[in-house]
Chain A
């Protein structure tokens, strides 16, 4: 009995600590949501309840433009990350060889390079040196092209690791069976490999999407006039006046993220992942 009570004390204090940390993590988010309903011109001051800011959100053209830009960039850059990262992840897991070490070194380098270094590098590359990419031949991307390219670098590296981890955990017997049954490599890929790694691709894609929605630094250095994103708009306002409409926009984005996150967790659960595996996938590899 004495022994049991001691276990409880440790568990209890650990649990209390975890609860404090959770409050710490949620406190600011709670404040943002609450202040999006504040009837005051300054974000930091509470001024009574109102839902006006949600209506005014759609009147502010600049805010609307930057949110649209953000979603466009995320929509273009996350498929790039998923396709490139997915292919590389499959290659790393199934076709290892002398090339693996060098490639992993580059991935590691991408992960450990501070974002600001990437950002200035891309700026010099795009603006100063020029290169073949200054006048993008991809018409629908135009001024968003450099930002899209910049956002996909880090997230494709993360997707690569997620997919590799997923493939490494899968027996290749299924793929061999497909080959034995005379499936062409292409068919085996689309009918066996792709469905197997689909949850990883989905999680990776969502991760890439939120990375892109979040990004300030790369956007700041690769952006051109008219390509300002929502985080850049917000960052520009930090030094001047922060109004509750930013909180309203953030609350809506938070809701969208939650829905997306919930559906990914649902898909991962359906495919039989444990919570630990889900954690590994959602936080980028492992």
Chain B
């Protein structure tokens, strides 16, 4: 109380965040607003990437929903949604095993082992799959040796390779938040459920699963968002078959020099990402409401924490 005057600075509270504010306005907000603005422009014909803005037009969006581009956007969303769900299905048992089934002192080591691939160069580990999946490579030979296939594998440059690549690249981003949430669960809650006569399955479904919802949501966001914008994985593994919306944006900027169309596709990509997130949010909200009504006891911490975890990444 008496120390209050000494502690109060003359600077405003956000003073320490000012450098970041300035930085984000100059190098993030302004550029993104510029892209939205550019999406209403028109390329000056014959120029090397000059754009005019009189009049402002919606024509680029009309171009962007033409089949050539729209098919790619649909494919992007399909690969992203499938990839995100696969990450959840593959990653959840791993996170559960790490956080709950193995002794605490082994957890750190296991975690370290999981983090190393994540910290390895993204492009390099994607290219590595070209070696693994090569039709004349080790895996192909081995599968033929053990008689599972009688010809070379032909996975490279297909959608399947892209799907495999994105699951591989983003799986750690699903496992980490799941592990953190599961690790913070009090074992007492599960024990109480058991003591009250719930079966193992019932405890998992009604106690563990609802409590790790924030982790699941964080994981879904952390995987889905970068995955939808990623076109590097597809470019490396998919060949001509692996076209993602991000690649269209890149080629409009780098090759076709049509900034306006590239911007419009980019805005549509962002819009699709937000749309998918909104749909999932609505579904999970409804699901939770139903679950909440079915459950007799309210467990603290299962509601309202999702956004906090999500923003914490």
A92 in contact with B17 (CB, 8 Å): yes
A124 to B94, Cβ gap below 8 A? no
Interface of A is mostly: helix
Question: How far is it, in angstroms, between the C-alpha of A43 and the C-alpha of B126 when the chains are bound?
Answer: 13
Contact A283 B177 (CB under 8 A): yes
- CB-CB contacts below 8 Å: A233-286 with B: 234-235, 238, 242, 246-247, 250, 253-254, 257-258, 261, 265, 269, 275-276, 278-280, 282-286
Q: Is B119 touching A210 in the complex (CB atoms < 8 A)?
A: yes
Bitwise interface map of B from 87 to 129 toward A, beta carbon under 8 Å scored 1, else 0? 0001101101111011010011011111111111111111111
Partner of B253, one of A29, A115, A123: A123
CA distance A185 to B218 in the complex (A): 36
Tell me if A88 counts as interface (CB < 8 A to partner B). Answer: yes
Indicate if A141 sits at the interface (CB-CB under 8 A): no
* Given contact pairs A276-B184, A286-B180, A117 touches B270 in the complex (Cβ within 8 A): yes
Cross-chain contact A279 with B179 (CB below 8 angstroms): yes
Of the residues B6, B110, B138, B168, contact of A179 by C-beta under 8 Å: B6
A129 to B162, alpha carbons, bound, how many Å?
36
A216 and B126 CA atoms in complex are apart in Å by 13
| A234 CA to B262 CA, complexed, in Å | 24
A156 within 8 A of B: yes
Kindly supply a per-residue 1/0 record for chain A positions 107-132, scoring 1 wherever the CB is within 8 Å of any chain B CB and 0 otherwise. Answer: 11111111111101111110011000
Q: How many chain A residues touch the partner (CB < 8 A)?
A: 101
Q: Which B residues from 198 to 247 make CB contacts under 8 A with A?
A: 200, 218, 221, 225-226, 228-232, 235-236, 246
Q: Are A116 and B250 in contact (CB under 8 A)?
A: yes
Q: Determine the residue in chain A with the shortest Cβ distance to B269.
A: A114
Interface residues of B in 22-81 (CB under 8 A from A): 23-24, 27-32, 34-35, 38, 49, 51
**Given A116-B266, A129-B34, A153-B27: 19 more A-B contacts, CB < 8 Å:** A14-B93, A18-B97, A21-B94, A27-B132, A31-B131, A31-B138, A88-B16, A91-B15, A112-B221, A114-B269, A115-B230, A118-B28, A153-B23, A161-B313, A217-B246, A220-B254, A250-B124, A276-B179, A282-B115
Question: Top 5 A-B pairs ranked by shortest CB distance?
Answer: A114-B229, A121-B31, A28-B128, A275-B108, A91-B16
Chain A residues close to B by CB (< 8 Å): 10-11, 14-15, 17-18, 21-22, 24-29, 31-32, 35, 43-46, 83-85, 87-88, 90-92, 95-97, 99, 103-104, 106-118, 120-125, 128-129, 149-150, 152-153, 156, 158, 160-161, 165, 176, 179-180, 185, 210, 213-214, 216-217, 220-221, 231, 234-235, 238, 242, 246-247, 250, 253-254, 257-258, 261, 265, 269, 275-276, 278-280, 282-286
